[in-house]
């Protein structure tokens, strides 16, 4: 089996008053070398702009997107409990990257996987202290996609899935 690469990223955005940090992991396709991939997800934790509460996570994720990625198109914004697979229709022409903004409660890990020929994932520990973001360049943006969210069965999540054009 090939080498697996991981990229740990600490929160570098505005940190909440509590000083919470978040760590994320990127897992590229099997057999990849140890150099950072330009084809993998980009993970970017940032503190929520207004100290979010459970009632306004999705609104805060949208406000964060409006500030950090004003050209983003929200594909879906949902909350729920436990694991879930999100079906995303083919992206409109020019959009080649899917992204997520995610928050979840509990103390366990979460993982978002984009399966395919070269599956990639982003993961971290659940946090309601900040909003975690990751982007996934798509191999076939003109085809429907799936994002698989896994987390503890009793963990509640708030996720905004968005698309953007290539940088």
Quick check: 18 pLDDT over 70? no
Q: Could you give the CA distance from residue 40 to residue 26 in angstroms, rounded to a whole number?
A: 8
Could you tell me the maximum CA-CA distance found in the chain, to the nearest angstrom? 45
**Model pTM?**
0.69
**Average pLDDT in the chain:** 73
Residues 86-143: tens digit of each pLDDT: 999 999 889 999 999 999 998 899 999 999 868 899 999 998 877 888 999 998 999 9
C-alpha closest to that of 110 among 87, 137, 133: 133
Q: Which two tokens mark 92?
A: 């409109």
Quick check: 5 pLDDT over 50? no
User: Is domain 6-165 annotated with CATH 3.40.640.10?
Assistant: no
Do residues 49 and 13 make contact, with C-beta atoms less than 8 angstroms apart? Answer: no
Query: How do the domains of the chain map onto residue ranges?
Result: 6-165
pLDDT at position 106: 84
Cβ count within 10 A of residue 15? 16
Check residues 37 and 113 and name the one with the higher pLDDT: 113
Cβ count within 10 A of residue 150? 17
Tell me the Cα Rg of the chain. Answer: 15
């Amino acid at each position: 089996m090939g080498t697996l690469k991981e990229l740990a990223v600490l929160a570098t955005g505005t940190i909440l008053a509590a000083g919470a940090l978040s760590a994320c992991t990127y897992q590229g396709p099997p057999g990849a070398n140890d150099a950072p991939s330009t084809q993998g997800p980009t993970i970017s934790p940032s503190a929520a702009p207004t100290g979010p509460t459970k009632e306004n996570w999705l609104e805060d994720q949208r406000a964060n997107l409006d500030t950090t990625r004003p050209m983003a198109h929200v594909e879906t914004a949902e909350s729920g409990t436990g694991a879930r697979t999100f079906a995303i229709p083919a992206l409109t022409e020019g959009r080649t990257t899917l992204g997520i903004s995610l928050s979840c409660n509990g103390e366990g890990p979460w993982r978002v996987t984009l399966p395919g020929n070269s599956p990639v994932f982003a993961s971290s520990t659940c946090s309601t202290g900040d909003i975690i973001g990751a982007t996934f360049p798509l191999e076939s943006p003109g085809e429907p996609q799936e994002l698989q969210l896994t987390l503890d069965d009793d963990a509640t999540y708030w996720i905004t899935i968005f698309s953007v054009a290539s940088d």
